[in-house]
Amino acid sequence: IGMVMKGELLVGILGSLDSGNKLYSRVVCAGETFLIPRGLMHFQFNVGKTEAYMVVSFNRQNPGIVFVPLMLFGSNPPIPTPVLTKALRVEAGVVELLKSKFAGGS
């Protein structure tokens, strides 16, 4: 659960494949709360003209984090380029460019 303390955030949640991979999103303003269901991919993006701050609470002390781009393009050893080109439906050059941005896993 999160509460926006200052600013405006676009909060988005991606539904599962069973839901048609639907994006649910809305702008959350200062004083409003939002809930991210456990295990769903989500994002927050500042859409206001000022800095945005939020306070969040997790369901456990160490909820973990999955940074998808780093996992896909910065893994060690790397995921083979042909696997990513097929999965992401892009050319090998795009995959190699993205891998170069995340090389070293940091």
Q: Which residues are annotated as a binding site for Mn(2+)?
A: 42
CA–CA distance from 55 to each of 1, 43, 45, 61, 96 (Å)?
A: 9, 15, 14, 15, 37
> Can you count the helices (H) and strands (E) in the chain?
3, 6
Known binding-site positions = 42
